[in-house]
Amino acid sequence: MTPETLIPGQTSLAQLERIYRAEAASTLHSSARAGVEAAAAQIAAAAAGTIAVYGVNTGFGKLASLKIAPQDTATLQKNLILSHCCGVGEAMPRAVARLMMTLKLLSLGRGASGVRWDIIALIEAMLARGVTPVIPAQGSVGASGDLAPLAHMTAAMIGHGEADYNGEILPGAEALAKAGLTPVTLGPKEGLALINGTQFSTAYALAGLFDGWRCAQSALVTSALSTDAIMGSTAPLHPEIHALRGHAGQIEAAAFMRSLLDGSVIRESHRIGDTRVQDPYCIRCQPQVTGAAMDVLRQAARTLEIEANAATDNPLVLTSDGSIVSGGNFHAEPVGFAADMIALALSEIGAIAQRRVALMVDPVLSFDLPAFLTPKPGLNSGLMIAEVTTAALMSENKHLAHPTVTDSTPTSANQEDHVSMAAHGARRLGRMVANLQVILGVEAICAAQGVDFRAPLATSAPLQGVVKRLRQDVATLGDDRYMAPDLAAAAKLIGNGALASATALELPALA
């Protein structure tokens, strides 16, 4: 696979998603090299001088007032990395870790970090040759950089720690050697540049965003199928209703649902003589809820695209005036806010989807569908407990959606006295997405079962394609059977986008 060539400051979400999905290698555009080398020269000059420059010839954090002798600067950087390798818990998923490495390339490539091009070349080579540091996922508070996880990344680069080499976990030095690579000796500020920054938090937030957007696309599809299953009205999708409110996501969601339901014989069969006046909110207000979630996800996407292209270490090398300035770009507050926004959107998409599942299994509300969508209620329980599972996952996601960015605690002897908690705020998104995929997968199973019960009336052509794709992996439910594999298969179709793609329609785009 050809590596993705990235221009620091101009890399798009689409490029980053391709890298995430395919675990693709990435390289910086050659135009970045001059700026990187100019900043490195400035750091080298500062390291040779007598003036104290934070992170170059001083200690770190609360120890910044301590001056380090020139002959000890290499040891200083190595000690920084080893002492900061304090991560715990399960390792980052490889795709997310590789995305994090790509984000670090982009940050260093802005030419404000002061690292040599050798550092960038090693990260590029590790990505190209399948060397991925093993990075414990817990330990960052999302300020002063994602210090512990980025230290584990850097440890592998200097021949310490562990790395995944083509699926095998090896000591860092051995993994590099097998890939034909040599550990780097860190120069002045290079260790600090590598561990300062928000790339861990941002990588997890982007993964949650990309996978969450697939859920939003799928939710529009499953909700349209549910609408036909309970013989719901399409009147609430009338374009003028949504134009009068004006929210872009709502307008787009309604338009896409209209295209999904266009041509449904089921819908046409009850336009006249249907005694129901209005559907429940989970049917009637789908554009208002899922469309609003789409708007929130897009707002978060804009923040994360900026952050992915940002220089976020400290101090920053300003080659325009020759200064090296301490600031606070490592503080991940923007990422924390974005992660909380994504969490709220995921929770609400799941909340309204779960109510549609509950609607379809309830014979009082489902407009003549059999109880729990089984042809023989009583003898069979049908989808009774599948609905209970969605309720459990919906409730779990509600708890997980509680904001994390509002929490803070002082660290590092009160030097770092306000932190973003963006790291676990972003990391929880993976669990929320997994829960949501199951909720939407169960909705697809229920809705397809409901549509089957409407035969010989048929749903629309796009939704027939969805049912057909589902049936390749999940058979129509007759007598009760072992259900766990069906739920897993349906969730997978949500996660890989196969169910939404089966509509053969152009799906709403994230950006």
Catalytic residues: 54
**Dihedral sign of CA atoms 146, 198, 333, 424 in order:** negative
**Dihedral sign of CA atoms 362, 363, 369, 375 in order:** positive
Residue 131, H or E segment: strand 131-133
CB 390 within 8 A of CB 438: yes
Closest CA to 25 of 149, 117, 123, 154: 123
- Token reading at 369: 């569908």
Q: Label residue 381 exposed, middle or buried (CB < 10 Å: 0-12, 13-18, 19+).
A: middle
Closest CA to 104 of 173, 183, 198, 22: 198
- Token reading at 95: 């795709």
Query: Hey, what amino acid is at 388?
Result: V
Helical segments of 247-383, H only: 248-261, 265-269, 281-284, 286-308, 333-361
- Token reading at 303: 């923040």
Helices (H) and strands (E) in the chain, counts: 20, 9
**How many Å is the maximal CA-CA distance in the chain?**
89
d(CA 25, CA 8): 15
